[in-house]
Amino acid sequence: MQDAAIAVNGLTKRFPGVSAVDGLSFAVRAGEIFGLVGPDGAGKTTTLRILAGILAPDAGTANIAGTDVIRLPERAKHALSYMPQRFGLYEDLTVEENIRFYSDLFGVKRAEREARGTELLRAAGMLEFRKRLAANLSGGMKQKLGLVCALIHRPKVILLDEPTTGVDPVSRRDFWRILYELLAEGVAILTSTAYLDEAERCHRVALLHQGRMLFCDTPANLKTRMRKNVVSVASTNPRLIRMHLERAQGISSLVMSGDGVHIVVDDAATRIPQFTAQLTAEGVAFESIVQVPPTIEDLFVDAVESKGAARG
Amino acid sequence: MNWMRMLVMAKKEVMQILRDSRSLMIVIVMPAILVLLFGYGVNLDQKRIPVYVWNQDGSQQSLDLVWRFKASEYFRVAAEVDNEKALARALDNGDARIAIVIPWNFDHRLQTGGRVAVQALVDATDDNTANLAMGYAQAVVQSYSANVQVAWMNQRGLAMQAAPVSVDTRTWYNEDLESSAFIIPGVLALVMSVIGAFLTSLTIAREWERGTMEQLISTPVSALEIMFGKLIPYFVLGMGDTVVAALIAIYWFHVPFRGSFGTLLASSAMFLVVVLSLGFFISVIAKSQFAASQIALLVTFLPAFLLSGFLFAIEQMPKPLQVMTHILPARYYVSVLKKIFLKGTPALMLYADLIPLAVFSVVLALLATRSFHKRLM
């Protein structure tokens, strides 16, 4: 891709005993939010660190805004912003001082800092907390401050490592709103997330597992690409449902959710009557059993489990 | 190297030091505490050693001898007792470091021209004090003995001088033989080890530990800018503390200062570069504040304390230790300090200390700049 803001090719990083990232390739356009999804240990953080120029890969290439971040990390750093998974700002400095520190490091002019800082703080709903020490902010506020500091110098590429983990729903909404507004400025955003519902807010997602990419597509395409069907059984006791249906025919995976069980099956039309009959016969109560559109979570769990099954 | 970014780093570091009460305490209070501690607390002169006396005789002659112990500035007669048990108990519980027993026939033997021995019991757990106490006791008794001898001969019409030969001593450089004058200049080396190595050893390790380093190294700030930005505030503080410690030494403890203040500042700056570089290097390799501070104390403070010649003269150390002291920057700095303060040696004659110090500062500063990379692994 010629106009890619982030271009990754054959990226590989091995740690003693494991391949954290294994031949990863993808590209992110300007104005796009790209999500890296996967469980812990999938290689999301390692990928982001390599792209941020703070970790050297063993093989592969990576370009950030046209600069080879592996050969010229210091030049690439002018164009990017990286927010580590762990809060990376100074807790003994105030909100304002943290913003000032990061904008000074990037050589942002005072007037620009004032204007941009105010605008970002307002969007984050944090204008009144300017003088507060970062240590005294809530988890959500800290993450939003991290984002403000990351955006103060108008980077072309933004790398976010699980930015909304442990963040309250209100702050999460603010966070995503700010991200969407940035897209209009032509920014490319690469974010990792453990929340699959959040992945659906991305333009495209890549599913990572053990350092390899399982799929990479838009959330909608991924869902249609899934040939299997998803059956949702609503129940007040999902555990019981799982116990009874676990060994039923035609199931490739089964995930419990708050209000029931999501079952990935080969064909919903034949399995729904079959499950209904079995549960009724075994005297297990349930509220409803219907076919639902697959979520990324269903897709992911199914992909990982069928891989595991193929290997095992 | 971008000066603006370096200043931004330095400014941030200063704000953090000002908000961290522990660091601030160390910077402000430590120099004064160390100088006062060593000025008052560590006294190698043994004066007023507590002594117990058991005078079995009780004659005028024996009281004369006891009076001489009382008059000596080296002894303090803590108590006079009349049995051995009391003496033993006093030595046991430390009320007395030395006990003097004057025998019951003391006066009689002297009157009849015989020899008499005065017994001294010494607590030798601290051999240094024991040696001094024995030496002082011997001196007191000998001078008394000489007097008795002269008086005895004069009585018999034999003219005799008190002491035909004597040594006339002049002490140079530390005229009053005050051990504080010998110790306090070296305290500056301790102050700098604490400010320089101990505090800086925390700076990089703290950023790793708190997770701020990961974000910092993803910005364009260079490794050198981070290093200088972090060290410059401590350099300024360290120089300030040196001046404060020197002023306390000169004006409070009246330690003579005979050299040039310029030489003091120049050599202090060199030593400060040494300890700052070491502290930074340790901080980079340790990555945890606790480990870093322990290593820093082990590598800088302890050698500065024990092996630099600060308290214990290097010439009196075992040969292997003497050889080892040559790789300790503190050794050269302490030597310079003592010469500047007490002897007023001009800078040109300090080359044997200043050249190694300069070499150490350059080598260690280079080592520090090479050690830190903006990479995770």
CB pair distance less than 8 Å for A73 and B219: no
What does the pLDDT read at residue B364? 92
Distance of CA B51 to the CA centre of its chain: 27
Tell me which residue in B215, B216, B220 faces A74 most closely, judged by beta carbons. B220
What does the pLDDT read at residue A105? 94
Least reliable range by pLDDT among A12-21, A51-60, B49-58, B131-140: B131-140
Please name each of the domains of chain B with its CATH number: 3-42+177-371 (no CATH), 49-155 (3.40.1710.10)
- Nearest residue of B to residue A155, measured between CA atoms: B219
Q: Can you give the pTM of this predicted structure?
A: 0.79
- Nearest residue of A to residue B223, measured between CA atoms: A74
CB pair distance less than 8 Å for B374 and A73: yes
Best B215, B216, B224, B376 member to test A by mutation, with max A CBs in 10 Å, is B215
Chain B contact residues (CB < 8 Å to A): 4-5, 8, 12, 15-16, 19-20, 210-212, 214-222, 374-377
ipTM of the complex: 0.83
Tell me which residue in B5, B211, B214 faces A54 most closely, judged by beta carbons. B214
What does the pLDDT read at residue A311? 40
What does the pLDDT read at residue B297? 87
Edge-to-edge strand list for the sheet holding B98-102? B75-81, B49-55, B98-102, B119-122
Contact list, B13 vs chain A (CB under 8 Å)? none
User: How far is B355 from A28, CA to CA, in rounded Å?
Assistant: 58
Least reliable range by pLDDT among A103-112, B265-274, B317-326: B317-326
Tell me which residue in A53, A77, A101 faces B8 most closely, judged by beta carbons. A101
- Nearest residue of A to residue B222, measured between CA atoms: A74
User: How far is A28 from A295, CA to CA, in rounded Å?
Assistant: 23
Contact predicate B331/B314, CB 8 Å: yes
Contact list, B211 vs chain A (CB under 8 Å)? 84, 86-88
pLDDT tens sequence across B154-211: 877 777 665 667 667 676 776 666 777 788 888 888 888 888 888 888 888 999 999 9
| Portion of chain B with pLDDT greater than 90, in percent | 35
What does the pLDDT read at residue B377? 62
Least reliable range by pLDDT among B40-54, B104-118, B253-267, B269-283: B40-54
pLDDT tens sequence across A299-311: 777 777 766 544 4
Residues 6+ apart with CB under 8 A from A163: A83, A143, A146, A147, A175, A191, A193
Beta partners for residue B208, in sequence order: none
What does the pLDDT read at residue B300? 87
What does the pLDDT read at residue B313? 83
What does the pLDDT read at residue B192? 87
pLDDT at A144 over 90: yes
Assign A256 to helix, strand or coil: strand
Q: What is the mean pLDDT of chain A?
A: 88
What does the pLDDT read at residue A301? 77
Tell me which residue in B4, B211, B375 faces A107 most closely, judged by beta carbons. B4
pLDDT tens sequence across A267-287: 888 889 999 988 889 888 888
CB pair distance less than 8 Å for A81 and B218: yes
How close is the nearest chain A Cα to the Cα of B283, in Å? Answer: 18
pLDDT tens sequence across A64-121: 999 999 999 999 999 999 999 989 999 999 999 999 999 999 999 999 999 999 999 9
CB pair distance less than 8 Å for B376 and A54: yes
Contact list, A47 vs chain B (CB under 8 Å)? none
What does the pLDDT read at residue B162? 59
Q: Give the count of alpha carbons within 13 A of B291, CB side only.
A: 12
Please name each of the domains of chain A with its CATH number: 4-222 (3.40.50.300), 227-293 (3.30.70.920)
User: How far is A62 from A249, CA to CA, in rounded Å?
Assistant: 45
Contact predicate B197/B276, CB 8 Å: yes
Strand spans (E) along A162-279: 188-193, 204-209, 212-217, 229-234, 251-257, 260-265
Residues 6+ apart with CB under 8 A from A112: A103
Assign A116 to helix, strand or coil: helix
What does the pLDDT read at residue B160? 66
- CA B352, B353, B356, B361 dihedral sign is negative
User: How far is B31 from B239, CA to CA, in rounded Å?
Assistant: 11
The first and second tokens of residue B350, run together, are 């300090």
pLDDT tens sequence across A38-53: 888 889 999 999 999 9
CB pair distance less than 8 Å for A55 and B376: yes
Residues 6+ apart with CB under 8 A from A134: A87, A89, A90, A91, A92, A93, A94, A95, A98, A142, A145
Mean pLDDT for the stretch of residues B252-279 = 92
Contact list, B219 vs chain A (CB under 8 Å)? 77, 102, 105-106
pLDDT at A312 over 60: no
Hey, what amino acid is at A148?
A: V
A-to-B residue pairs, Cβ atoms closer than 8 angstroms: 73
Least reliable range by pLDDT among A124-138, A157-171, A248-262, B150-164: B150-164
CB pair distance less than 8 Å for B220 and A102: no
CB pair distance less than 8 Å for B212 and A81: no
- Nearest residue of A to residue B373, measured between CA atoms: A54
Contacting A residues, span 105-144, partner chain B, CB-CB under 8 Å: 105-107
Longest dimension (CA), chain B: 100
Mean pLDDT for the stretch of residues A19-40 = 92
| Portion of chain A with pLDDT greater than 70, in percent | 97
Tell me which residue in B8, B214, B374 faces A84 most closely, judged by beta carbons. B214
CB neighbour burial string for B107-135, b if at least 16 within 10 angstroms, e if fewer: beebeeeeebebeebbbeeeeebbebbee
CB pair distance less than 8 Å for A84 and B215: yes
CB pair distance less than 8 Å for B219 and A55: no
Contact list, B214 vs chain A (CB under 8 Å)? 49, 54, 82, 84, 86, 88
For chain B, say whether A58 makes contact (Cβ under 8 Å). no
How close is the nearest chain B Cα to the Cα of A93, in Å? Answer: 7
pLDDT tens sequence across B65-112: 899 998 888 889 988 998 889 888 998 988 898 999 999 888 888 888
pLDDT tens sequence across B23-77: 888 888 888 888 888 888 776 666 788 999 999 988 888 898 899 998 888 889 9
| Portion of chain A with pLDDT greater than 90, in percent | 52
CB pair distance less than 8 Å for A88 and B212: yes
| Other residues' Cβ atoms within 10 Å of the Cβ of residue A181 | 13
Closest CA to A37 of A270, A185, A201: A201
Contact list, B8 vs chain A (CB under 8 Å)? 101, 104-105
Hey, what amino acid is at B275?
A: V
Mean pLDDT for the stretch of residues A169-197 = 88
Contact list, A52 vs chain B (CB under 8 Å)? 218
